Structure 1
Amino acid sequence: MTNFITKIVAWIKAGYPDGVPHPDQVPLFALLRRRLSDDEVIAVANALLERGAFDHIDIGVLITEITDALPTPEDIDRVHDRLANYGWPLDDPRDSEDVE
């Protein structure tokens, strides 16, 4: 288990020594949702810029490597947007699909 996960488990055990009651489960997991910090977004963006060509899958893989957690769509979008703001040409094949 990563240090991050170990801290979360300890925090939950301290707050809910008898287990998480059903009404608290959804709000608790909503609070635990992973979000990249600004520093993590910068690290991912810099690593991708150094590498050259990449796509959404590459962004997700690198986020997983850096954070040891699966990226959310919002995490990927933040990295994508940061790269686009710095002029990286991000052609998304989904943008060119015809919508019926």
Structure 2
Amino acid sequence: MADRPLVGRIIDWLRAGYPHGVPERDYNPLLAILRRQLSEEEVEHVSGELISEAAPPPEPISKIDAGVKITAVTHELPHDDDVSRVQHYLEEHGFPFDDAPLAPPDPSPPAGSSPSNPSAGRGAPSDGPPSPPAGSSPPAGRGARSASDEPRDHRTDAPNPPTDDETTDNPEDQP
């Protein structure tokens, strides 16, 4: 086991600090200190995989991709300091790193518009979908109306003529 000297040093350190055993109230702080972190070799391995999978010309490597690779190595959720170490390694070797891949887009105005005229370079603002041209019928499909959607006379003494949707091409059903 390659980590045995490290484990032995940790046990010696704990015995020196707690000669009569670790009190229960100190378990959580000790576990936080002793959490798994990437070794230097693992940082290089994770970074190397990210570099080899990066899209050319080197697209920024995202914090999410780094976290996924770290999780594959540690089998635990990545810690911020491990992600930071991978980020530092990548940037040190000339690879861009995207620290906020899910951040909202920059709200700066698009090219061609000015702060005094925000709609310059764009169409006029709209309150909804565009209206169909005058004189045209609505498109068929979802939301289209048919003759059977029209109100019908429900009086018992007045028969309702069948609508186009209700007629059939079967000659036996014809009078």
TM class, shorter-length: 0.5 to 0.7
Cα distance, 1:97–1:82 mapped onto 2, change above 3 Å: farther
Cα distance, 1:32–1:97 mapped onto 2, change above 3 Å: farther
Matched residue, 2:83: 76
RMSD (Å) for aligned C-alpha atoms: 2.6
The one-character-per-residue Cα deviations of 1:40-89 (angstroms, maximum 9, x if unpaired) are 00000000000014310110011011121221000001001100000012
User: What is the identity percentage for the equivalent residue pairs of Structure 1 and Structure 2?
Assistant: 40
TM-score normalized with structure 2 length = 0.40
Distance 1:92 1:67 in 2: 21
Q: Per the alignment, in what secondary structure is the counterpart of residue 97 of structure 2?
A: coil
Kindly indicate whether residue 32 of structure 2 is the aligned counterpart of residue 59 of structure 1: no
TM-score normalized with structure 1 length = 0.66
Determine if contact 1:34/1:72 at 8 Å carries over to the other structure. Answer: no
Cα distance, 1:36–1:97 mapped onto 2, change above 3 Å: farther
Query: Higher relative contact order at CA 8 Å, sep ≥6: structure 1 or structure 2?
Result: 1
Distance 2:64 2:39 in 1: 20
Distance 1:97 1:34 in 2: 36
Distance 2:38 2:74 in 1: 8
Distance 2:39 2:84 in 1: 13
User: Shift of residue 97 of structure 1?
Assistant: 6.4
Distance 2:97 2:46 in 1: 15
Determine if contact 2:70/2:78 at 8 Å carries over to the other structure. Answer: yes
Question: Which structure: larger Rg?
Answer: 2
Letter aligned with residue 42 of structure 1: E
Matched residue, 1:88: 95
Richer in helix (by share): 1
Distance 1:47 1:59 in 2: 9
User: Shift of residue 30 of structure 1?
Assistant: 2.4
Determine if contact 2:50/2:66 at 8 Å carries over to the other structure. Answer: yes
Q: How many residues align?
A: 82
> Where do 5+ consecutive residues of structure 1 fail to align?
none
Matched residue, 1:27: 29
